[in-house]
Amino acid sequence: MMKTKMTMSKSARHLLLAASMAAFALPVTLSLAPSASAAQSAHHIERTVDGKVVNKADSPLGGSVVYLKDTRTLSIKTYICDDAGHFRFGQLSQNSDYELWAESNGVKSNTKSISSFDDRNSYYFTLTVASK
């Protein structure tokens, strides 16, 4: 009986090795995917800002317009207060700084700031608009 020695070319051995490694790496990669996305969603907590707009006598100024400026993108959101002077902004990024102010009858309140370094998730501000 004659024995034959089977030999593979160098490129065939490399191809076989690469295929074996890929088959082993795929389950490992798939098992890591859920935990990576879970970690990402845990860090994606959004902020909320609410409060009220009042005059110097602490009376609510319904119909006032509250402005929220994202200082990174320079986009501005607005909110028209209800009759009790309340406003609310939701779904704000933790990675942005914000400026907040109110206007009523052409008069502006002082500007409040929210820093991306502040780790709170909710803020409450009373914005006072002094009459002319």
Residue 42's pLDDT is what? 45
Asked whether 127 and 112 are in contact (CB, 8 A), the reply is: yes
What class, spelled out in words, does domain 47-128 have in CATH?
A: mainly beta
**Token reading at 106:** 């052409």
At residue 13 the predicted structure's pLDDT band, cuts being 50, 70 and 90, is low
Do the beta carbons of residue 119 and residue 93 sit within 8 Å? no
Whether 130 and 56 have beta carbons less than 8 Å apart is answered as yes
Which pLDDT belongs to residue 39?
42
Question: What pLDDT sits at residue 2?
Answer: 56
* Angle, alpha carbons 34-37-42 (nearest 5°): 125
Model pLDDT, residue 45: 72
pLDDT at 18 over 50: yes
What CA–CA distance (Å, rounded) separates 49 from 55? 20
In this prediction, residue 43 carries a pLDDT of 53
Going by pLDDT thresholds of 50, 70 and 90, the confidence category of residue 46 is confident
What does the pLDDT average to over 53-78?
96
d(CA 67, CA 48): 14
* pLDDT tens-digit series, residues 85-120: 999 999 999 999 999 999 999 999 999 999 999 989
Domain positions in the chain are: 11-44, 47-128
Taking the model in full, what pTM does it have?
0.66
